[in-house]
């Protein structure tokens, strides 16, 4: 039989029985009409093809099926939604991979198991195979589930009701993951800094201001809620999940105000009831330079309004300020973690350095990987990583090179030091995947440091109005006009599957949207999920 005849024969089999019944359960494989399952055997599927599994019982009655997919490296997907069908996109592979698919009837305990062989595409060069790793469907180490849909949390879109609030100067969006009992009222909620004020978002259209009161620094008077409108909130940080409980440093805020004589920037703790208390910072005289030490007791060290911070699982505060990174420990001592010297020259190389030898040019966005304590930062057209011992290295992009024009296509395999970014900001790290906003290219990218693949999570069109809707990168069957459009996304937060994004809405205003990521997307490390 000729290869073309085999292809036609396979295309006719849109539903092929893969295994005998275990008990009374049958597991079958389905493909879209006209797309062959594999090169011959019915239990094989080619890399990047989408297929589906169907479970049935001999009595024909519906069951609340429980699905489990197990990867050879230990990754596992669990679905308990009771679906009779499950879609699956074969992962991008360069060598054969066996995926075990198990379906179980929870009531009767009957089960069926299938070993699915995922095969590489023969005769296709490695670079071309990498190009096949598209986001037409989520990258597979898990099934294709519901298409993520962006819904508006806050902000007025063109054509929205007049009652919708107008957001300006959105400086931060954040998701609270700290399970500390004192944080019960905030766990799973969203925080946002809008026009210098801190808000809690309980759901769409429910943005509540957090009225701050308390002391900014030792020896300063306690301020009531009426005095705080003159104090601007520039940043907020929350302890990651898995932090130790019992310590008061659960939330920290970066507050700033200017008087006739001083520029005052303070890092303060924040209790859930809105009470602030001093941690670090000292008033700095205007127009006189700075004679304050970079290290020492927290009450004697000053910061600039550009400082941004993250809170690690041990309660340390990591502060990125221009071209230095400092750490504030629980005893109130400030030390330089990396970047003690002068500002880094754009063309300076190599990148890898540690502690005092590390140098930065213009630090902007930052995020923390809670498990390792590694800090990821954006520095012009590059992403850097600083480890807890101060070791710094280049992760993505190249700081001294002009950004590529046109923008780097995705998905792509990115070599170390390859220019591929244009002023990234708004970083987030979740399950081994680094997410970053690229507002000048109107997109959000997802980077897997393990295999160095770069993907586009969301692509906006600046020529069209902002709108909510399904994400086009996951809904290829939908017209682009029906999909979400978020030009110039500039801030984001990720917690488990929940994503918050702040983007431009036009006329100097912003909008905050949310959506849920599918399971196993981009090859994330923590693939065991329960729906």
Q: Which residues contact 425 (CB under 8 A, 6 or more apart)?
A: 364, 365, 378, 436, 437, 439, 490, 491
Q: Domain limits of the chain?
A: 3-123, 149-523
3-class SS at 480?
Answer: helix
Class of CATH domain 3-123: mainly beta
Strand spans (E) along 96-148: 97-104, 111-119, 143-144
Place of tokens 């941690």: 279
* 277 against 149, higher pLDDT: 277
Write out pLDDT tens, residues 229-271: 789 999 999 988 766 656 788 899 999 988 777 888 999 999 9
Task: Reply yes or no on whether the pLDDT at 16 is more than 70.
Answer: no
Sequential DSSP letters for 313-360:
TTS-EEEEETTEEEEE-TTSEEEEEE--SSPPPTT-----EEGGG---
Q: Which of 282, 222, 276 is closest to 248 using CA atoms?
A: 276
Write out pLDDT tens, residues 211-230: 999 999 998 888 888 877 78
Which range has the worst mean pLDDT, 159-163, 390-394, 435-439, 446-450? Answer: 159-163
Q: In the beta sheet, which residues pair with residue 79?
A: 67
C-alpha–C-alpha distance, residues 141 and 143, integer Å? 7
C-alpha–C-alpha distance, residues 53 and 435, integer Å? 31
- pLDDT value, residue 122: 65
Task: Report residue 335: phi and psi, to 5°.
Answer: -130, 155
Say what percent of the chain tops pLDDT 90.
Answer: 28
- pLDDT value, residue 357: 75
Let me know if the fold of 3-123 is the same as that of 149-523: no
Write out pLDDT tens, residues 59-103: 888 888 887 777 665 555 666 556 777 777 676 666 777 888 888
Q: Which residues contact 285 (CB under 8 A, 6 or more apart)?
A: 261, 262, 263
Q: Which of 303, 395, 390 is closest to 338 using CA atoms?
A: 390
Q: Tokens standing for 489?
A: 């996304």
- pLDDT value, residue 522: 64
Q: In the beta sheet, which residues pair with residue 467?
A: 485
Task: Reply yes or no on whether the pLDDT at 340 is more than 80.
Answer: no
3-class SS at 3?
Answer: helix
Write out pLDDT tens, residues 290-328: 567 889 999 999 898 899 999 998 889 999 988 889 999
Q: What is the DSSP-derived secondary structure letter of residue 128? A: H
Task: Reply yes or no on whether the pLDDT at 434 is more than 60.
Answer: yes
Task: Reply yes or no on whether the pLDDT at 422 is more than 60.
Answer: yes
Mean pLDDT of 421-434: 91
Mean pLDDT of 3-19: 35
C-alpha–C-alpha distance, residues 443 and 456, integer Å? 7
Q: Give the pLDDT band of residue 383 (cuts 50, 70, 90).
A: very high
Q: In the beta sheet, which residues pair with residue 86?
A: 53
Mean pLDDT of all residues belonging to the chain: 77
Write out pLDDT tens, residues 130-141: 444 333 233 322
Q: Which of 476, 495, 498, 449 is closest to 144 using CA atoms?
A: 476
Task: Report residue 170: phi and psi, to 5°.
Answer: -75, 115
384 CB burial (10 A radius; 0-12, 13-18, 19+): buried
- pLDDT value, residue 531: 31
Sequential DSSP letters for 415-436:
-TT----SS-EEEEEETTEEEE
The third-level CATH classification (topology) of the domain covering 149-523 is Neuraminidase (2.120.10)
Q: Give the pLDDT band of residue 411 (cuts 50, 70, 90).
A: confident
Write out pLDDT tens, residues 452-507: 888 888 999 999 989 999 888 777 667 888 899 999 999 999 987 789 999 998 88
Q: Give the pLDDT band of residue 18 (cuts 50, 70, 90).
A: very low
Q: Give the pLDDT band of residue 278 (cuts 50, 70, 90).
A: very high
Task: Reply yes or no on whether the pLDDT at 351 is more than 60.
Answer: no
C-alpha–C-alpha distance, residues 377 and 119, integer Å? 38
C-alpha–C-alpha distance, residues 444 and 452, integer Å? 16
C-alpha–C-alpha distance, residues 515 and 67, integer Å? 24
Q: Tokens standing for 216?
A: 């900014």
Which range has the worst mean pLDDT, 228-242, 269-283, 399-413? Answer: 399-413
- pLDDT value, residue 342: 65
Task: Report residue 440: phi and psi, to 5°.
Answer: -75, -20
């Amino acid at each position: 039989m000729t290869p073309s005849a085999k292809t036609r024969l396979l295309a006719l089999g849109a539903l092929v029985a893969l295994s005998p019944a275990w008990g009374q359960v049958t597991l079958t494989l389905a493909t879209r009409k006209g797309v062959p399952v594999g090169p011959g055997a019915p239990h094989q599927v080619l890399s990047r093809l989408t297929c589906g599994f169907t479970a049935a019982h001999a009595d024909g009655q519906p069951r609340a099926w429980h699905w489990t997919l197990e990867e050879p490296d230990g990754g596992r997907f669990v679905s308990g939604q009771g679906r009779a069908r499950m879609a699956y996109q074969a992962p991008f592979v360069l060598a054969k991979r066996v995926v075990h698919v198990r379906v179980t009837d929870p009531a009767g305990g009957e089960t069926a198991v299938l070993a699915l062989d995922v095969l590489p595409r023969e005769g296709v060069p490695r670079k071309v195979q990498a190009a096949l790793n598209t986001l037409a469907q989520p990258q597979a180490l898990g099934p294709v589930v519901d298409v993520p849909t962006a819904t508006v949390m806050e902000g007025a879109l063109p054509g929205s009701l007049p009652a919708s609030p107008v957001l300006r100067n959105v400086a931060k969006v954040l998701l609270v993951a700290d399970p500390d009992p004192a944080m019960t009222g905030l766990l799973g909620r969203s925080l946002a800094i809008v026009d210098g004020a801190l808000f809690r978002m309980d759901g769409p259209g429910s943005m509540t201001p957090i009225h701050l009161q308390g002391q900014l620094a030792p020896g300063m008077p306690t301020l009531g809620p009426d005095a705080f409108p003159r104090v601007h909130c520039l940043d907020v940080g929350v302890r990651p999940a898995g932090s130790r409980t019992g310590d008061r440093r659960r939330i920290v805020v970066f507050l700033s105000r200017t008087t006739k004589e001083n520029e005052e920037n303070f890092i303060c703790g924040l209790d859930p009831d809105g009470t602030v208390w001093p941690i670090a910072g000292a008033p700095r005289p205007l127009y006189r330079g700075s004679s304050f030490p970079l290290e020492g007791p927290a009450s004697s060290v000053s910061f600039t309004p550009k400082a941004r911070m993250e809170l690690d699982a041990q309660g340390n505060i990591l502060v990125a300020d221009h071209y230095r990174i400092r750490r504030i420990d629980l005893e109130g001592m400030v030390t330089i973690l990396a970047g003690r010297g002068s500002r880094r020259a754009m063309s300076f190389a190599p990148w890898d350095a540690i502690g005092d030898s590390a140098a930065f040019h213009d630090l902007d966005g930052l995020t923390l990987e809670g498990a390792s304590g590694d800090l990821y930062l954006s520095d012009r057209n590059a992403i850097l990583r600083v480890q807890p011992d101060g070791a710094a290295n280049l992760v993505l992009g190249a700081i001294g090179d002009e950004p590529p024009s046109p923008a780097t296509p995705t998905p792509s395999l990115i070599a170390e030091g390859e220019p591929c970014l244009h002023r990234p900001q708004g970083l987030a790290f979740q399950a081994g995947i680094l997410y970053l906003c690229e507002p000048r290219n109107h997109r959000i990218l997802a980077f897997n440091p393990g295999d160095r693949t770069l993907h586009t999570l969301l692509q906006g069109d600046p020529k069209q109005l902002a709108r909510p809707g399904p994400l086009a990168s996951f809904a290829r069957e939908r017209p682009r006009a029906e999909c979400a459009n978020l030009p110039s996304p500039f801030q984001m937060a990720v917690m488990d599957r929940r994503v918050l994004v702040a983007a431009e809405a036009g006329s100097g205003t912003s909008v905050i949207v949310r959506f849920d990521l599918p399971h196993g997307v981009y090859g994330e490390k923590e693939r065991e999920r329960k729906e």
